Amino acid sequence: MSEAVRRAAAELRRGRLVAFPTETVYGLGADASSREAIARLYEVKGRPGDHPVIVHFTDAATAFKWASEVPEAAHKLAAGFWPGPLTLILERASTVGDFVTGGQDTVGLRVPVHPLALELLAEFGGGLAAPSANRFGRVSPTTAQHVREDLGDDVDMVLDGGPCGVGIESTIIDLSRGKAVLLRPGGISTAQLESVLGEPVGTPDSAAPRVSGSLAAHYAPRTPARLVAAAGIESEIARQGAEAAVLAFGAPDARVDFWVRMPRDPVQYAQKLYAALRELDSSGAKVLLIESPPDTPVWRAVLDRLRRAARD
């Protein structure tokens, strides 16, 4: 147990906010059973009070104590993917404060696999609420440096575990209403989930719980961004030229000053995505042109984030 982890857990017990690495993105941790700590968390994130946060645990047995009912599907998914980048929405136990659930009668539970996150959770000993450690609506942080740039002194401590391996947020599955519904695509694909569940995963209808990550303009850079089909990139560059910064698969075009080349593999792409968006955002360009990956299942989670980033 490192001294930093011991100190972080002590801070959390005093109601302070500690950012920590997970395999997906950095989380802004707070004691999930403390109304005061969670109030401060919402204030720092700038998050509306009716948007719930995910609570993190060391293991499934501890996590499930926060649910009033644990369906068979939850046991299957936990056995298959925890610890890992999956969040389960279940009916909340009566002991769970409505301040972490945004007033809803469900709670989001996750067991991360990052060793530093697990160490911190073990030392802290309870549930840690941890939304992504950025201001509401902005691009999630995948390094400790991103967290410091975004939150400055508003975060009491940042545990540095290097860059996150997955790079985009966890997959969220709602199991609170009978059948499994995908609320947010992420680190675990629908195909992986379905193979463990042995049944199809549905898509949300209007009665599904609110997910802030599903708002149209979320994960957004400050600079206007446009998602452009591969075939249209060339003509967009001809039109925008020096005004644009480009995120694309191919080699840089001499007409563009700021160009980030992305991997053709979706897993590697996801890992680099948020750092790349931040770089583009601080390039001074007037518009960000993002070459769209193909619209195939393996690109689903990445495309979801790109569509929200490119709100204009």
Give the binding site for Mg ion (CB under 5 A).
132
Cα–Cα distance, 85 to 128 (Å, whole number): 16
CB of 248 to ligand TXA, least distance (A): 26
H/E element holding 266? helix 266-281
106 or 240: CB nearest ligand TXA: 106
Q: Which of positions 133-172 make contact with ligand TXA (CB under 6 A)?
A: 169-170, 172
Measured from the CB of residue 170, what is the shortest distance to ligand TXA in angstroms? 3
240 interacts with, out of ligand TXA, Mg ion, none, CB within 5 to 8 A per kind: none
Contacting residue, 8, 18, 25, 41, with ligand TXA by CB under 6 A:
25
**For ligand TXA, how many residues bind (rule: CB under 6 A)?**
30
Residues 109-128 that bind ligand TXA (CB under 6 A): 110, 112
Tokens of 21: 């690495």
From Mg ion, ligand TXA, none, interface partner of 106 (C-beta below 5 to 8 A by class): ligand TXA
Compare residues 22 and 271 and give the one whose CB is closer to ligand TXA: 22
Q: What is the CA radius of gyration of the chain?
A: 19
Instruction: Please spell the DSSP secondary structure of 104-154, one letter per residue.
Output: -SEEEEE----HHHHHHHHHH-S-EE--BSS-TTBPPP-SHHHHHHHHGGG
Q: x/- string (CB under 6 A) for ligand TXA, residues 200-239?
A: ---------xxxxx--------------------------
52 binds, among ligand TXA, Mg ion, none (CB under 5 to 8 A by kind): ligand TXA
Of 44, 130, 147, 303, the one binding ligand TXA by CB under 6 A: 130
d(CA 118, CA 172): 20
Q: Which of 5, 30, 37, 54 binds ligand TXA (CB under 6 A)?
A: 54
CA separation, residue 30 to residues 17, 19, 97, 110, 139 (Å): 5, 9, 13, 14, 20
Decide if residue 52 touches ligand TXA (CB under 6 A): yes
Strands, sheet with 86-91, edge to edge from the N-terminal-most edge strand: 157-158, 18-20, 27-31, 128-129, 54-56, 106-110, 86-91, 171-174, 181-184
Query: Half-sphere exposure (CA, 13 Å, Cβ side) for 298?
Result: 8
Interface positions with ligand TXA (CB under 6 A) = 22, 24-25, 27, 51-54, 85, 87, 89, 101, 104, 106-108, 110, 112, 130-132, 169-170, 172, 183, 209-213
